[in-house]
Chain A
Amino acid sequence: MRKLNFVCILTDFFCLLKTFGISLKCLATVMSNWKIRDLLSLGLLGLRHSRGVLTKYSSAGQTVSAAASVSSPQLQPNDAAEKILNLPLEKPDFFRVAELFSLKDLFDARVHLGHKKGCRHRLMEPYLYGCRLDQDIFDLDQTVEHLQRALNFTAHIAYRGGIILFVSRRRQFGHLVESTAKDCGEYAHTRYWQGGLLTNANIQYGPGVRLPDLIIFLSTLNNVFQQHVGVRDAAKMNIPTVGVVDSNCNPCLVTYPVPGNDDTPVAMELYCRLFKMTINRAKDKRRQVELLYGLNAPSPSNS
């Protein structure tokens, strides 16, 4: 890992805290828990130097964000709210997103098919397995890891009641994406992106609006094969992004890229189904845990 300037880390850190809605008080009691630091540092590094770090991560072969837990708690979290928030951070794959799909499912949904060799983006080369008859093929092992990481992150965001925005500018799948968002109880934007939606939000929507905490791009390109404005704007506003990047897309500014096909209807239906299932799972879990902690206030129970 490169050494980053401490001040820069701190400012980015607090910005991200604000977007996740975590108070400083809660953070202070949890600072000792290294897992959240790893979660956030992944986001930080993803925002700033995604290329080098991500390839390193994929080579390390870790599926989820947890490092070895070094817990030396000075303050025991005794508030029920803090316990609810810390519960998912104890286990690596708390929401068991790895069980939602397998490599075979991805292959059957034709996720491994990319565009032709001429359309290839230079920065997508690490994610490609090879090229067959001029068509790029994605490395599904890497895709599986990236997708698990992305789904785990969305699950954590949904668990904490964050706002998730689904974005796609493909007219073929606009209705599908909007229906997915409606079923999850989250938000969608598959229409013409007006310039200041994220950067000029207070004037466009009204004062005191809450911006999305996560943006999921089901296709990072817009109708003229340029990168969607939302990717750049989310990076400007410190909003983490999950994006399905095809072989002609730029994965730079996407926090959790998922290299895969974004043109086939089967593949899109698979992604929508997976995101919907993770978000619903995370929300149900949250409701379960809240009920549980409402009943047994002093001692936490495993569920």
Chain B
Amino acid sequence: GCLLQSRVGFGKVLCRSISQNSALCRKNLAAAGPEKFTAEFIQKQIEEFNIGKRHLANIMGEDPENFSQEDIDRSIAYLFPSGLFEKKARPLMKHPDEIFPMQRAVQWGKDRRPFHFLFYTGKQSYYSLMHELYGKMLNIEKHQDRLRSKGLFSKDGHKISLGMSRWLTKEELEALLVENISTHDYNRFIQIMERLLSMPYCNIEEEFVLRFRHLLQTQSRHQMVSALQKDENGVAFSSAEGCRKTSHSTVVLRDCGSGRLSVNGQDSLLYFPVLQDREQLMFPMQFTGTLGRFDLECTVSGGGRSSQAGALRLAISRALLSFLSPSEREMMRQAGLLTPDPRVRERKKPGQEGARRKFTWKKR
């Protein structure tokens, strides 16, 4: 015999010991497909979540009515501190709609007639989208015919201005339609949308098309430029911060006219005896040609010699931004002066000597 276990609900396990043949226990778990949650189950989870939220607010001594998601995250991080690296493995308390994947409710009513008119095709949302798309194309063609009859038709009339946008990816479309789509279907959809865009006078269906377009994140425009301030003597200065590995630094750049450099109260020659570190400090100003123009007051802490130099370099470049024109800023960005170096120390793994180094392999 063997133990017969039955899973009831999410995460709860009921054990019933019944002696049975192992052949009967074996179920084809793969054929069952992804776990399906009923509407009542999700409803129950939502109620439990709301009750739990109020309990948590009472525990933390805060107002149960205005307890937001950030407060929940903060409280959970406080009550259950976890040192795990993987953020998704840490204790989590979120609304069930964000945890359980969106699933289709039952497709038919009490008299068992399906709700959607394309239910019997199998892929109702996708095909209804295609049907709608075809309807829009017919609409545009009718509009063109009307203009032609009035004699106002022109081939380059009124296309849609796309701007910086891209089509939705297959995953995003699947999430929109709550249905699985094959690659062939997705390609066909994109093909027909492109065809729609190529027709003149398609601007009448602009909002329909823009529903399936995603604005591209503009990468190079976002620069956090620190403000240019003036101190008592009328001298313009700006300050910025930078970090590298475990070092943090702050830099105040003054437009004095001398090229003095002081780090943590000491002269740079004394603080950085090695030429390489001093070169790192000089590089941003040498690149922009402002070597003797600015006066630097720097503070740096943490890390080692090289990482402190790198942190200072980043802080100087950021402080310089407010004194430069947009084209020079773009040149600095392309030179890599404004990119923080993401490299940090990699952890040591068990079963290995270090992060990458394995133990010595002995043949016998």
Real binding pair: yes
B135 at the interface (CB under 8 A from A): yes
Binds A, one of B94-102, B112-120, B149-157, B248-256: B112-120
The residue that A206 contacts in the complex, of B107, B120, B127, with Cβ under 8 A, is: B107
A48 at the interface (CB under 8 A from B): no
* Closest chain B residue to A165, Cβ basis: B120
CB-CB under 8 A from A209, the residues of chain B are 108, 112, 114
Q: A163-B113, A175-B138, A210-B113 are in contact. Are A187 and B108 (CB under 8 A)?
A: no
CB-CB under 8 A from B107, the residues of chain A are 205-206
> What sequence of 0s and 1s flags, for each residue 67-95 of chain A, a beta carbon within 8 Å of any chain B beta carbon?
00000000000000000000000000000
The residue that B127 contacts in the complex, of A161, A163, A191, with Cβ under 8 A, is: A191
CB-CB under 8 A from B112, the residues of chain A are 208-210
User: Which chain A residues (193-224) contact chain B, with CB distance < 8 Å?
Assistant: 194, 197, 204-206, 208-210, 212
The residue that A189 contacts in the complex, of B121, B134, B135, B138, with Cβ under 8 A, is: B121
Whether A175 and B113, one on each chain, are in contact in the complex, defined by CB atoms closer than 8 angstroms, is no
The residue that B117 contacts in the complex, of A161, A174, A181, A194, with Cβ under 8 A, is: A181
User: Which chain B residues (118-136) contact chain A, with CB distance < 8 Å?
Assistant: 118-123, 127, 131, 134-135
Whether A175 and B108, one on each chain, are in contact in the complex, defined by CB atoms closer than 8 angstroms, is no
CB-CB under 8 A from B134, the residues of chain A are 174-175
Whether B131 and A178, one on each chain, are in contact in the complex, defined by CB atoms closer than 8 angstroms, is yes
Whether B117 and A188, one on each chain, are in contact in the complex, defined by CB atoms closer than 8 angstroms, is yes
Whether B118 and A178, one on each chain, are in contact in the complex, defined by CB atoms closer than 8 angstroms, is yes
Q: A175-B134, A175-B135 are in contact. Are A197 and B120 (CB under 8 A)?
A: yes
A122 at the interface (CB under 8 A from B): no
Distance to closest chain A CB from B264 (angstroms): 70
Bound form: Cα–Cα A239–B310 in Å: 77
Distance to closest chain B CB from A184 (angstroms): 9
Whether B117 and A178, one on each chain, are in contact in the complex, defined by CB atoms closer than 8 angstroms, is yes
Distance to closest chain B CB from A162 (angstroms): 9
Whether B118 and A188, one on each chain, are in contact in the complex, defined by CB atoms closer than 8 angstroms, is yes
> What sequence of 0s and 1s flags, for each residue 166-187 of chain A, a beta carbon within 8 Å of any chain B beta carbon?
0000000011001101100111
Whether A212 and B117, one on each chain, are in contact in the complex, defined by CB atoms closer than 8 angstroms, is no
Bound form: Cα–Cα A163–B122 in Å: 16
* Closest chain A residue to B126, Cβ basis: A191
Counting chain A CB atoms within 10 Å of each CB, which of B119, B120, B131 scores highest? Answer: B120
CB-CB under 8 A from B114, the residues of chain A are 163, 187, 209-210
Bound form: Cα–Cα A132–B72 in Å: 83
Bound form: Cα–Cα A197–B121 in Å: 8
Bound form: Cα–Cα A211–B122 in Å: 13
Counting chain B CB atoms within 10 Å of each CB, which of A163, A174, A179, A204 scores highest? Answer: A163
CB-CB under 8 A from A175, the residues of chain B are 131, 134-135, 138
Question: Interface residues of B toward A: which range?
Answer: 10 to 19
Distance to closest chain B CB from A19 (angstroms): 13
B111 at the interface (CB under 8 A from A): yes
Q: A161-B111, A187-B114 are in contact. Are A212 and B131 (CB under 8 A)?
A: no
Bound form: Cα–Cα A208–B121 in Å: 17
CB-CB under 8 A from A174, the residues of chain B are 134
Distance to closest chain A CB from B117 (angstroms): 5
Bound form: Cα–Cα A45–B107 in Å: 34
Bound form: Cα–Cα A197–B119 in Å: 11
CB-CB under 8 A from B122, the residues of chain A are 194, 197, 204-205
Whether A210 and B120, one on each chain, are in contact in the complex, defined by CB atoms closer than 8 angstroms, is no
Counting chain A CB atoms within 10 Å of each CB, which of B107, B121, B134 scores highest? Answer: B121
Bound form: Cα–Cα A171–B119 in Å: 19
Bound form: Cα–Cα A161–B120 in Å: 17
Bound form: Cα–Cα A212–B108 in Å: 13
Whether A187 and B117, one on each chain, are in contact in the complex, defined by CB atoms closer than 8 angstroms, is yes
Distance to closest chain A CB from B139 (angstroms): 12
Distance to closest chain B CB from A138 (angstroms): 30
* Closest chain A residue to B138, Cβ basis: A175
CB-CB under 8 A from B118, the residues of chain A are 178, 187-189
Whether A187 and B131, one on each chain, are in contact in the complex, defined by CB atoms closer than 8 angstroms, is no
Distance to closest chain B CB from A170 (angstroms): 14
Bound form: Cα–Cα A179–B131 in Å: 9
Whether B117 and A182, one on each chain, are in contact in the complex, defined by CB atoms closer than 8 angstroms, is yes
CB-CB under 8 A from A210, the residues of chain B are 108, 112-114
* Closest chain B residue to A204, Cβ basis: B122
Bound form: Cα–Cα A15–B119 in Å: 24
> What sequence of 0s and 1s flags, for each residue 66-80 of chain B, a beta carbon within 8 Å of any chain A beta carbon?
000000000000000
Distance to closest chain B CB from A254 (angstroms): 19
CB-CB under 8 A from A181, the residues of chain B are 117
Bound form: Cα–Cα A187–B106 in Å: 17
Whether A186 and B117, one on each chain, are in contact in the complex, defined by CB atoms closer than 8 angstroms, is yes
CB-CB under 8 A from B113, the residues of chain A are 161, 163, 210
Bound form: Cα–Cα A188–B114 in Å: 12
Bound form: Cα–Cα A189–B122 in Å: 9
Known: A175-B135, A188-B117, A197-B122. 10 other contacts (CB 8 A): A161-B111, A163-B113, A163-B114, A178-B118, A187-B120, A189-B118, A197-B120, A205-B119, A209-B112, A210-B108
7 interchain pairs, CB-CB under 8 A: A178-B118, A187-B117, A187-B119, A204-B122, A206-B107, A209-B114, A212-B120
Residue numbers of A with Cβ under 8 A of B are 161, 163, 165, 174-175, 178-179, 181-182, 185-189, 191, 194, 197, 204-206, 208-210, 212
